[in-house]
Amino acid sequence: MKLLQEGVFLVAIFFFAYTQQLVKGQHQPRKDCQTKCGNITIDYPFGISSGCYYPGDDSFNLTCDEKQNLYIGNNTEVKTFNHSSQLSVMFNRFSFCNDEQRNSTNETLIGYRLGSSFSLSATNKFYLVGCNALALLSTFGKQNYSTGCLSLCNAPPVENGECNGVGCCRTDVTVRSDSNIFQYGSDRFVNQFNASEGQFKTSVYQFNPCTYAFLVENGQFNFSSSKDLKNLRNLTSFPVSLDWSIGNKTCKQAGSTSICRENSGCIDSTRGKGYNCKCLEGFDGNPYLPNGCQDINECTTNSSTHKHNCTDPKTCRLKDGGGFYCKCPSGYDLTATMNSTMSCTRPEYLRWTQILLGTTIGFLVLLIAVSCIQHTTKHRKETKLRQQFFEQNGGGMLIHRISVAGSSNVDVKIFTEEGMKEATNGYEESRILGQGAQGTVYKGILPDKSIVAIKKARLGDSSQVEQFINEVLVLSQINHRNVVKLLGCCLETEVPLLVYEFIPSGTLFDHLHDSIFNSSLTWEHRLRIAIEVAGTLAYLHSSASIPIIHRDVKTANILLDDNLTAKVADFGASRLIPMDKEQLTTMVQGTLGYLDPEYYTTGLLNEKSDVYSFGVVLMELISGQKAMCFDRPQQSKHLVSYFASATKENRLHEVIDGKVMKEDNQREEIKKAARIAVECTRLMGEERPRMKEVAAELEALTVKTTKHKWSNEQLMSGHILSAQGDTSSRGYDSINNVARFDIEAGR
Ligand SMILES: *[C@@H]1O[C@H](CO)[C@@H](O)[C@H](O)[C@H]1NC(C)=O
Ligand SMILES: *[C@@H]1O[C@H](CO)[C@@H](O)[C@H](O)[C@H]1NC(C)=O
Ligand SMILES: *[C@@H]1O[C@H](CO)[C@@H](O)[C@H](O)[C@H]1NC(C)=O
Ligand SMILES: *[C@@H]1O[C@H](CO)[C@@H](O)[C@H](O)[C@H]1NC(C)=O
Ligand SMILES: *[C@@H]1O[C@H](CO)[C@@H](O)[C@H](O)[C@H]1NC(C)=O
Ligand SMILES: *[C@@H]1O[C@H](CO)[C@@H](O)[C@H](O)[C@H]1NC(C)=O
Ligand SMILES: *[C@@H]1O[C@H](CO)[C@@H](O)[C@H](O)[C@H]1NC(C)=O
Ligand SMILES: *[C@@H]1O[C@H](CO)[C@@H](O)[C@H](O)[C@H]1NC(C)=O
Ligand SMILES: *[C@@H]1O[C@H](CO)[C@@H](O)[C@H](O)[C@H]1NC(C)=O
Ligand SMILES: *[C@@H]1O[C@H](CO)[C@@H](O)[C@H](O)[C@H]1NC(C)=O
Ligand SMILES: *[C@@H]1O[C@H](CO)[C@@H](O)[C@H](O)[C@H]1NC(C)=O
Ligand SMILES: *[C@H]1O[C@@H](CO)[C@H](O)[C@@H](O)[C@@H]1NC(C)=O
């Protein structure tokens, strides 16, 4: 039972839906309908033949004749359709002609019968063209109405073009939905007026043989008295617009039975009965057809009536469900402009912000650009300068020499100015290791974390460039364990930089004379250092590929590493000093006490000058006294003369370093070493031994020492320290023997 009820209910629903569908769908025109007549496109609800026009009303039945003229009703020619509510048709004019004898053509009135769905639009006008004539328009229906006008003139109107009652008159047409039958015509009233007043009997016919009456859409006819009074320009029909509507019901009455399709709305007809359909805003097309109303792309359409009104087309956006809007970027307001477009404008305050921001950014960009250019210019200048220095300092020559010698033979690195700057942290003051007559030495840390000593060389003039390069090459090839290795150079600076191996423990000078090292060097150390230095000098004087004369042997140029191994520094660097007077003075000051007097007086340099200087170094090692000391008596300021006077007066023991003196068992060696030192410092270079001999003699001392020490150690059961401690207590006495040693005899 219940099932049956539900079934009935379902059937009812389907039936309802079906009928709804039928109501909505029944007005669809056939697919094969003729859509064109001539070049007029036929719009539904109009159509030719059954099934093509709106079936509820035969008024929409059209005929297309053989001449491709389209007719509505019996004789109304259609020109254009307006699918909202209007139709343009052609109505014939009425004309009535007669001559002076009042012989007239027999004209019948013009009449039209329209379908019940049509009525004359209010936009039409009723015209009369003619003189001394009247025209009448009659409509027939439930009530008969008539309207008309009259025109009076005896002569052609002076003014040409005004339809103002002289030669032409016109009147409005009142729309009546129930009157769709029209009749109109005109007549002269010559007869009536002729008798009473003679004025009309004049020759009106000559300039106006006929009178014309016609309906025309407003604006489609402009009266011209000179042309139209004669023959109305042979115009026999005029466009007239008709209003049409669907059915007799209002939208409200029609409700869901209205034939308006999707995206359209129903509007009550202006005729007073029936309704029309209209596409919704943002849609265009035929609202009586399925899918007739199409969404308009206002942003891209070319149709002037639907085009967007955004000033900038790029801001135009389509709305969901039709229509458009102008999308302004954030920070912009939409404003109506003078020419009825919508444009995006910045609010005043934002505009100022923008201007301010723009100016600031512009200024900054300019500033950056300027500084960039400055930087580039500076950089280019610096690069150029570096290049210039590099050439000036013999860089080209060096590279050429290296390439000739082969990189495996020459191990000299060419550092860049930038690399040097980085290594010394911009030539920081805390990195200065020493400052002297020959320049400043910096501690440098290379990118591979190795520590180097960077020294500014002094180059006098361009004539010395070749020599300088020579020396760089030669020195870089010296690979002696007691020589501070030259790693490379940098020629991009005004003053060339030399990069040396870094020796951490200070100079021999510091160890001997500086309190921080506490003069902790034993005689053994001192002798070894002397041997190492002597050996190195001998090697350089004879064994190296070309003899190298140090020229500035002094304790300050002898570095000591962690194991107190001697490293002779500044080889050949002193040769870089130009021999002008000022430099010489500086040098004499710097190395006063070590300078070979013969070399000083003659200016002739040979290897014996190094022997002299070494002699002074040896004396310094023995005595622990500085080469030049102003605390000593006038004649003994110079260590050499101090030694001389001490030996002369048999008090050499006074000269020997107290700490060394304590080491009793070395007394003999010290004596011998002192003799060697005195020999080295002989006034005449020829009388001095060669460096090789000096080295050999000193080495001979150690052989003995070692033997001696060995026997000592054996006695003391290897207790070296206590043995040394024992001997040192008696050291002072034993020096007397040394003092008696005739040093003077050696000179
Ligand atoms: C088509 O229309 C144009 C003007 O609208 C007209 O001049 C022409 O005669 C028409 N052609 C036909 C075949 O009706
Ligand atoms: C449409 O009008 C024409 C001409 O008036 C007529 O011949 C034809 O029968 C009409 N068609 C219908 C379906 O009434
Ligand atoms: C069309 O003409 C026929 C016969 O000439 C007439 O019977 C009919 O009423 C006319 N229709 C209209 C709408 O004038
Ligand atoms: C169609 O009719 C409507 C309403 O009278 C009018 O606004 C519109 O301009 C007409 N369109 C054309 C193409 O004649
Ligand atoms: C004009 O037509 C009317 C009726 O249509 C007729 O009575 C009259 O005699 C006709 N006049 C002429 C001159 O044919
Ligand atoms: C309107 O005019 C016609 C023809 O002249 C006539 O037959 C009809 O009776 C008139 N109707 C009224 C309401 O006067
Ligand atoms: C009007 O038609 C007549 C004859 O048919 C002709 O002689 C005359 O030139 C035409 N006038 C114009 C303005 O077309
Ligand atoms: C409108 O009503 C009139 C009479 O009131 C009738 O003759 C005509 O057929 C109706 N039109 C339509 C389309 O229903
Ligand atoms: C309207 O005015 C704006 C400036 O206010 C201008 O950019 C635009 O081109 C104008 N549009 C038309 C159609 O003249
Ligand atoms: C632009 O078009 C929109 C929607 O069609 C309308 O609301 C607005 O008033 C129009 N603006 C101007 C300035 O014409
Ligand atoms: C110092 O001597 C030790 C032991 O002989 C050795 O391992 C070390 O490498 C030496 N240091 C230097 C800097 O020569
Ligand atoms: C009008 O014209 C005159 C002269 O041209 C004739 O004598 C008339 O008979 C004629 N009248 C009509 C009705 O034709």
3-state secondary structure string across 318-330? ECCCCCEEECCCC
| DSSP symbols for 344-412 | EE--HHHHHHHHHHHHHHHHHHHHHHHHHHHHHHHHHHHHHHHHHHHHHTTHHHHHHHHHHH-TTT---
Structure-token pair, residue 189:
């009233």
Going by alpha carbons, the residue nearest to atom 7 of ligand 8 is 116
Predicted pLDDT of residue 94: 93
Going by alpha carbons, the residue nearest to atom 4 of ligand 7 is 234
288 part of a folded domain: no
Cross-strand partners of 628: 638
* CATH of residue 398: 3.30.200.20
Residue 233 CB–ligand 7 contact under 6 Å? yes
CA distance 604 to 596: 10
DSSP 610: H
CA distance 174 to 121: 8
CA distance 515 to 241: 127
CA distance 613 to 544: 20
CA distance 611 to 617: 10
Written as one letter, the residue type at 652 is: L
CA distance 496 to 468: 10
Q: Reduced to 3 states, what is the DSSP secondary structure of residue 127?
A: strand
Ligand 3 nearest-atom number relative to CA 114: 13
Q: Which of 36, 37, 39, 88 to probe ligand 1 with, by most ligand atoms within 8 A of CB?
A: 39
CA distance 98 to 169: 20
Residue 171 CB–ligand 4 contact under 6 Å? no
397 part of a folded domain: yes
Q: Reduced to 3 states, what is the DSSP secondary structure of residue 588?
A: helix
Taking CA atoms, 204 is separated from 97, 98, 155, 160, in Å, by 12, 11, 7, 17
Predicted pLDDT of residue 746: 32
299 part of a folded domain: no
Predicted pLDDT of residue 171: 95
Domain that holds residue 477: 376-502
Residue 228 CB–ligand 8 contact under 6 Å? no
151 part of a folded domain: yes
346 part of a folded domain: no
Does residue 239 sit in the same domain as residue 90? yes
CB neighbourhood size of 718 (10 A): 11
Residue 234 CB–ligand 7 contact under 6 Å? yes
CA distance 516 to 601: 37
Ligand 12 nearest-atom number relative to CA 103: 1
Burial of 726: CB neighbours in 10 Å, binned 0-12, 13-18, 19+ = middle
Burial of 177: CB neighbours in 10 Å, binned 0-12, 13-18, 19+ = buried
Number of domains the chain contains = 2
**Contacts of 281 by beta carbon, 8 Å cutoff, 6+ apart:** 322, 323
* Residues with C-beta less than 6 Å from any ligand 3 atom: 73-74, 113
Residue 146 CB–ligand 6 contact under 6 Å? no
Ligand 2 nearest-atom number relative to CA 73: 5
**Contacts of 229 by beta carbon, 8 Å cutoff, 6+ apart:** 129, 130, 131, 156, 167, 207, 208
Residue 310 CB–ligand 10 contact under 6 Å? no
Domain's final residue, options 244, 278, 299: 244
CA distance 742 to 736: 12
Task: For residue 318, report the distance from its CA to the centre of ligand 9, in Å.
Answer: 21
294 part of a folded domain: no
Measured in degrees and rounded to the nearest 5, phi and psi for residue 672 equal -65, -40
Measured in degrees and rounded to the nearest 5, phi and psi for residue 192 equal -65, -40
CA distance 66 to 43: 20
Task: For residue 609, report the distance from its CA to the centre of ligand 7, in Å.
Answer: 140
Task: For residue 567, report the distance from its CA to the centre of ligand 11, in Å.
Answer: 14
Please, are residues 331 and 291 in contact by the beta-carbon 8 Å criterion?
A: no
Q: Identify the active-site residue in 57, 228, 243, 552.
A: 552
Predicted pLDDT of residue 650: 75
CA distance 522 to 689: 26
Tokens 């004019």, located at residue? 93
Task: For residue 280, report the distance from its CA to the centre of ligand 9, in Å.
Answer: 28
Task: For residue 56, report the distance from its CA to the centre of ligand 7, in Å.
Answer: 45
435 part of a folded domain: yes
Domain's final residue, options 473, 502, 531: 502
Q: Is the CA virtual torsion 260, 266, 268, 270 positive or negative?
A: negative
Q: Which of these, 56, 35, 73, 48, lies nearest to 242 by C-alpha position?
A: 73
Q: Reduced to 3 states, what is the DSSP secondary structure of residue 442?
A: strand
Task: For residue 88, report the distance from its CA to the centre of ligand 4, in Å.
Answer: 10
CA distance 570 to 458: 12
Going by alpha carbons, the residue nearest to atom 3 of ligand 6 is 140
Predicted pLDDT of residue 665: 67
Burial of 26: CB neighbours in 10 Å, binned 0-12, 13-18, 19+ = exposed
CA distance 222 to 98: 25
CA 688 to the chain's CA centroid? 76
CA distance 529 to 148: 146
Going by alpha carbons, the residue nearest to atom 3 of ligand 11 is 563
Residue 342 CB–ligand 10 contact under 6 Å? yes
Ligand nearest to the CA of 248: 8
Ligand 2 nearest-atom number relative to CA 58: 14
CA distance 495 to 7: 113
Going by alpha carbons, the residue nearest to atom 13 of ligand 12 is 103
Q: Which of these, 629, 632, 658, lies nearest to 646 by C-alpha position?
A: 632
Tokens 């070049």, located at residue? 39
316 part of a folded domain: no
Structure-token pair, residue 57:
């009303």
Q: Which of 525, 562, 565 to probe ligand 11 with, by most ligand atoms within 8 A of CB?
A: 562
Does residue 240 sit in the same domain as residue 380? no
The residue ranges of DSSP E strands in 141-270, in sequence order, are: 145-151, 168-172, 181-188, 210-217, 237-244, 264-268
Kindly give the parts of the chain with pLDDT less than 50: 8, 10-25, 192, 194-196, 200, 573-590, 707-747
Going by alpha carbons, the residue nearest to atom 11 of ligand 2 is 49
Is the peptide bond between 45 and the residue preceding it cis, with omega within 30 degrees of 0?
Answer: yes
Q: Which of these, 592, 589, 593, lies nearest to 640 by C-alpha position?
A: 593
Structure-token pair, residue 700:
């001979």
Please, are residues 71 and 57 in contact by the beta-carbon 8 Å criterion?
A: no
Ligand nearest to the CA of 178: 8
Structure-token pair, residue 573:
């660097």
Is the peptide bond between 447 and the residue preceding it cis, with omega within 30 degrees of 0?
Answer: no
Domain's final residue, options 502, 528, 543: 502
pLDDT tens by residue, 650-659:
777 778 877 7
Tokens 């290791």, located at residue? 433
Active-site residue, 552 included: yes
Residue 39 CB–ligand 1 contact under 6 Å? yes
At 40, which helix (H) or strand (E)? strand 40-41
**Contacts of 518 by beta carbon, 8 Å cutoff, 6+ apart:** none
Residue 311 CB–ligand 9 contact under 6 Å? yes
